[in-house]
Structure 1
């Protein structure tokens, strides 16, 4: 399978020139590439080992997120969200029908305090209510010792059609996402990583709904179509999304005690700016005409801005962008 249509207005990022100094990865590198590539007609699948499964809370929950990990910007109750242990710093749009989203995401390796915590930066494509029937497609990078057994920064996807209860999983750990690309392994380490006050690296992710077949496709970089989520997996997303979110998420495993020191993004607050704070740039949505365009009415949301914060803006080079993240525990958190 291949998508019948790409979104209109998709530009070649390898030809973009930016004064920012961020290095665009025309050839996406993953650490496993040092040992070779997969033959044409096959796909790379990260090996699941016994110790991977043993780290999970149960075999049944292996490769799944805990219930209720989506931020609810418009009607958020901080006490309720802190109870789940998940904290966010995001930009979002809602109110229209959305058929995809895109972003160029700065790549870092945040420090994780405890093995049962994670830090990720991703886009969310959401349909339905925030109840038991929530549909979500997610893609980005994450550091998750519990899932992978190390602190490497890894490319990941996730999906659910029932608010993380019984459906969906990370990467290829259950049926759902159908990969067609032999170059990129889901869950594999990304290289290189940005340095504080040094070289900056970012990756591009696009997820869009094929207007002919109805499947949700994912592209990585400027031209690597990785695979798709079949339309039949979803109820609300079989039609369209009602909200798009971009940003960071961490797990604070001690929501009623001392705050975790797990970092989000670069581990530094947005006001430090380029080269120090993590960013999303050129964020876009796919509209009902299959056109990529800048989102209108972008809101921002964070549960505790003194732990993790977000600041958005707009300019010619970066379009709609935002800086986000933070260190977690500090004198104000």
Structure 2
């Protein structure tokens, strides 16, 4: 009888050890940003005071606040009090309600086959919409930033910025190949002799796993002009991202970014500095997207359009075909004050190699493009805006991935999806070390 009890105890011990090991393995790929945040006792009162002053500048007094189920606080801020207008170049800026003209569609209406396909690919929305509350007209929804949000950043200067090292001696004709800085990409890009005034794509939305809190995974459109090897690159960016450092969780979120000096001092994510002017009272930049795509299950995507208003020169962002989100004023830019020279679509991750190997942070769905629909993430219906303010389907793209054993990309075309591509990967694996 004692032998049976001993064996039973050993079995329980074995089960317990397996359970603990499984928890530890989960912890590697499901990082908790809360654990990374410094406790307030570790931060000097002077630094806390500086951070609080900064938060007071970007967290504008709201008309009222909406509590999101994911823990976010969405402040309804009067449109004319939003952070953008604190920018020195925008002190006397008059907010543009809408662009004078929208980009014209080129080609015929979508066929029934395309409409049927689109009905399967339902549009994603935002988590704070769950209770049905929206900000009133005349206000814009802004995600409130906290002391913990700033403490997760490397410094107050780095808060809300995408830090990238562009080496001046790195002469290459391939755009944005910055793998040496820890950033890895799987992108499609177009470079033409014609001037570019915008771009559009429909982007599959997933929730890639992040290994380290200071890593991220994003899927976006880049509108670019200037030098890739100099300090004057202008970039306008929008898409979805998972960034525990920036948001304190692992949820995919709608985001924007801009810079006019190669990511050095100007620009930021979302509304974390003055610059981007929001006009929509129903969409919060930086808020979580819901629902999300599942492996071999329902697929959800968002359509993003960025284009330059030919009358006033501001760069507008839209969701879907008709929803205006806001704009980047022309005053923010040098090269993009005129036109863009390059458009990129695709994914980007940060690989810190914190464990002495390649990160397990995923790109897209975390699966390679060869797996196809429902398994790999996609961009579809790639278009650019030409000098006639017309949306033109992209006929040809160049694809680029720094390390195809970690993250890859495969492009193709069809009647329904136009030019499209699958992209992404799991990061660390037997062929990616």
Same fold per TM (> 0.5)? yes
Match of 1:116 in 2: 214
Match of 2:300 in 1: 201
Say which is worse superposed, 230-239 or 3-12, in terms of deviation: 3-12
- 1:29 is matched with which residue: 116, 125, 133? 125
- Structure 2 CA distance for aligned equivalents of residues 140 and 262 of structure 1: 18
- Structure 2 CA distance for aligned equivalents of residues 148 and 135 of structure 1: 25
- 1:151 is matched with which residue: 219, 225, 250? 250
8 A Cα contact 2:395 2:419, kept in partner = no
User: Which has the bigger relative contact order, CA under 8 A and spacing at least 6?
Assistant: 1
8 A Cα contact 1:91 1:247, kept in partner = yes
8 A Cα contact 2:121 2:299, kept in partner = yes
- 1:226 is matched with which residue: 317, 325, 329? 325
Match of 1:263 in 2: 362
| Counterpart secondary structure, 1:45 | strand
- 1:239 is matched with which residue: 338, 350, 354? 338
Say which is worse superposed, 155-164 or 87-96, in terms of deviation: 87-96
Assess, with a 3 A threshold, how the Cα gap between structure 1 residues 273 and 234 changes in structure 2: closer, same or farther: same
Q: Which has the higher helix share?
A: 2
TM superposition shift of 1:254: 1.5
Deviations 1:80-107 (A, max 9, x none): x332000000000013311000000000
Question: Which residues in structure 2 correspond to 1:152-191 (within 5 Å)?
Answer: 152-191=251-290
TM superposition shift of 1:33: 1.1
8 A Cα contact 1:267 1:326, kept in partner = yes
8 A Cα contact 1:117 1:252, kept in partner = yes
- Structure 1 CA distance for aligned equivalents of residues 257 and 402 of structure 2: 23
- Structure 2 CA distance for aligned equivalents of residues 163 and 215 of structure 1: 20
- Structure 1 CA distance for aligned equivalents of residues 129 and 274 of structure 2: 25
Match of 2:349 in 1: 250
- Show structure 2 runs of 5+ residues with no match: 1-95
- Show structure 1 runs of 5+ residues with no match: none
- 1:135 is matched with which residue: 234, 238, 243? 234
| Counterpart secondary structure, 1:17 | helix
Q: Give the TM-score normalised by structure 1.
A: 0.94
Assess, with a 3 A threshold, how the Cα gap between structure 1 residues 277 and 256 changes in structure 2: closer, same or farther: same
Deviations 1:148-199 (A, max 9, x none): 0000010000000001111000000111100000000000000000000000
8 A Cα contact 1:85 1:255, kept in partner = no
- Structure 2 CA distance for aligned equivalents of residues 256 and 133 of structure 1: 34
Structure number with bigger Rg:
2
Match of 2:149 in 1: 52
TM superposition shift of 1:22: 3.9
Match of 1:104 in 2: 202
Deviations 1:191-250 (A, max 9, x none): 000000000000000000001111000001232100000111000000000100000000
- Structure 2 CA distance for aligned equivalents of residues 167 and 12 of structure 1: 41
Say which is worse superposed, 144-153 or 254-263, in terms of deviation: 254-263
Assess, with a 3 A threshold, how the Cα gap between structure 1 residues 321 and 66 changes in structure 2: closer, same or farther: same
2:170 equivalent to 1:74: no
Assess, with a 3 A threshold, how the Cα gap between structure 1 residues 191 and 287 changes in structure 2: closer, same or farther: same
2:187 equivalent to 1:90: yes
Assess, with a 3 A threshold, how the Cα gap between structure 1 residues 146 and 313 changes in structure 2: closer, same or farther: same
Deviations 1:268-325 (A, max 9, x none): 0000000000000001000111110112431000000010000000100000100000
Assess, with a 3 A threshold, how the Cα gap between structure 1 residues 289 and 183 changes in structure 2: closer, same or farther: same
8 A Cα contact 2:396 2:419, kept in partner = no
Q: Give the TM-score normalised by structure 2.
A: 0.72
- Structure 2 CA distance for aligned equivalents of residues 72 and 299 of structure 1: 18
